[in-house]
């Protein structure tokens, strides 16, 4: 069991303003994992005040970059020393399979961020039109409020905290109520690394605490991962307060299978791209567009590929699909699938809760046919293991259908002709496009078009969102 009886604020562990706790139970079998105290609005006030003081008066923003990176390196080493323990905790907490290695992925992101920060142009020369020579200095934006989602909490936290701290910002981080425990390892890492007081503060809470933090007058920057509905609210508040925001929101990613594609290979990528993280991934390939004259062949290949993915105990290294993170998430998937059937969709595979795992929040990997692109299940983010397979008449039709959605996070194009695939990729309005592969990789900018948000993470561009440009001419 993992228990936290205090909050990490101002460089130390302090009592919360309430005795209320957030309990975590395994989504695989309901067993007790641990708990933490819940932050109150007064605790958030204290955290923001600590971050504000550390930014305005503390040493962190004024330290040389090399010194900040040395502290971050010690944080990374602390996480690495506990990798196996944290991998297991992350899996028990949110049900993502142990094969994902949630702590290892976060360590890899630390490694990238440390190297990228060393090469980022925090200062460079520029000459104006009239010959005036200037120094362009990128300075830290200030106090950053960071809010992450439950599907990859440690990775997302490192993706926000590491570039923010490297840039010289201070941070107030709010973990999600479903998965706060693994994130609090960052507090332990900060303490072990000697991070100055107030530079990182962690306040576990739920939606109300997140809203309070986003609207706090002491915050200079908001970085959020979550739903488009929440992102719209955060964008409105940030705009009203004239505070910068990075919003990594939902997706309804398309996998476009061109007529010449290797169907078996494409089906395998689509199946894994949809069902990884039990479909709880904003970048999940949840719409597969296949040629109408090869529809039956493509559907059979996709069903076979999905059916081959092992579902079971997430702590078993051979499991690919585990449970959904919560009962609320499971109910949401059931509602979408039942609604799709009522709208005329047909179930080619799955469609129900996993019968022999009644103690957990498992849903069968599901493939739907007879879906049209205007159905709710094809337009909205299900956030579960549900794949819609849709036919198209021409490549132009496939591109039009892929773009006919409010989201634009990722997409994939499948073809044996690389040039043809790239031409189609350039026509799809999404932030990342994979050619014969799922999109996204640490080191490449990740973020979306349209309702998928704005700003880029997990790449050199992440530093842009935590800095202000000053011209000294």
In the block, tokens 């799809």 appear at 428
What is the DSSP annotation of 178-205? SS-TTTHHHHHHHHHHTPPTTSEEE---
Q: Residue 220 in contact with residue 227, Cβ under 8 Å?
A: no
| DSSP classification of residue 353 | B
List, by residue number, the catalytic residues: 248, 282
Q: E strands of 205-349, at which residues?
A: 221-225, 244-248, 253-257, 285-291, 346-349
Task: Assign 32 to helix, strand or coil.
Answer: strand
What is the sign, positive or negative, of the torsion defined by CA atoms of 413, 113, 251, 313?
A: positive
Nearest-Å Rg of the Cα atoms of the chain is: 23
Q: Residue 263 in contact with residue 362, Cβ under 8 Å?
A: no
Q: How far apart are CA 447 and CA 440, in angstroms?
A: 9
Catalogue the long-range contacts made by 313-318 (C-beta closer than 8 Å, 24 or more residues apart).
313/28, 314/28, 314/91, 314/92, 314/95, 314/96, 314/97, 314/98, 315/28, 315/88, 315/91, 315/92, 315/98, 316/97, 316/98, 317/98, 317/99, 318/99
What is the sign, positive or negative, of the torsion defined by CA atoms of 366, 367, 371, 374?
A: positive
In the block, tokens 């059931």 appear at 334
């Amino acid at each position: 069991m993992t228990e936290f009886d205090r909050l990490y604020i101002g460089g130390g562990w302090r009592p919360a303003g309430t005795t209320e706790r957030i309990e975590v139970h395994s989504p695989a079998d309901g067993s007790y994992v641990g708990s933490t105290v819940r932050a109150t609005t007064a605790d958030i006030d204290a955290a923001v005040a600590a971050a504000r003081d550390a930014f305005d008066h503390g040493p962190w923003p004024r330290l040389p970059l090399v010194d900040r990176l040395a502290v971050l390196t010690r944080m990374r080493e602390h996480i690495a020393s506990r990798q196996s323990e944290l991998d297991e905790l992350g899996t028990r907490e949110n049900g993502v399979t142990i094969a994902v290695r949630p702590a290892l992925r976060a360590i890899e992101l630390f490694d990238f961020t440390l190297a990228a920060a060393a090469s980022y142009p925090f200062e460079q020369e520029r000459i104006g039109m009239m010959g005036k020579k200037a120094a362009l200095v990128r300075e830290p934006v200030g106090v950053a409020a960071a809010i992450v989602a439950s599907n990859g909490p440690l990775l997302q936290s490192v993706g926000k905290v590491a570039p923010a701290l490297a840039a010289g910002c201070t941070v107030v981080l709010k973990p999600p109520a479903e998965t706060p425990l693994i994130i609090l390892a960052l507090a332990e890492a900060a303490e072990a690394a000697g991070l100055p007081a107030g530079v990182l503060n962690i306040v576990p809470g739920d939606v109300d605490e997140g809203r309070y933090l986003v609207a706090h007058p002491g915050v200079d920057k908001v970085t959020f991962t979550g739903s488009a509905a929440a992102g719209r609210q955060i964008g409105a508040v940030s705009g009203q307060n004239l505070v910068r925001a990075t919003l990594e929101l939902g997706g309804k990613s398309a996998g476009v299978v061109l007529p010449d594609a290797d169907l078996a290979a494409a089906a395998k990528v689509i199946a894994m791209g949809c069902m990884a993280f039990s479909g709880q991934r904003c970048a999940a390939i949840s719409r597969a567009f296949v040629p109408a004259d090869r529809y039956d062949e493509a559907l059979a290949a996709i069903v076979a590929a999905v059916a081959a993915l092992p579902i079971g105990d997430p702590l078993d290294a051979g499991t690919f699909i585990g449970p959904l993170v919560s009962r609320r998430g499971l109910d949401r998937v059931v509602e979408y699938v039942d609604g799709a059937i009522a709208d005329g969709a047909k179930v080619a595979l799955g469609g129900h809760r996993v019968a022999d795992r009644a103690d957990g929040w498992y849903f069968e990997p599901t493939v739907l046919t007879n879906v049209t692109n205007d159905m709710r299940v094809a337009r909205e983010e299900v956030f579960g293991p549900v794949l819609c397979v849709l036919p198209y008449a021409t490549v132009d039709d496939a591109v039009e259908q892929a773009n006919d959605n409010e989201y634009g996070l990722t997409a994939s194009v499948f073809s044996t002709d690389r040039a043809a695939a790239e031409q189609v990729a350039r026509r799809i309005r999404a932030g990342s496009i994979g050619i014969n592969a799922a999109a996204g990789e640490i080191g490449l900018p990740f973020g979306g078009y349209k309702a998928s948000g704005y700003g880029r993470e997990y790449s050199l561009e992440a530093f842009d969102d935590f800095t202000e440009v000053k011209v000294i001419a």
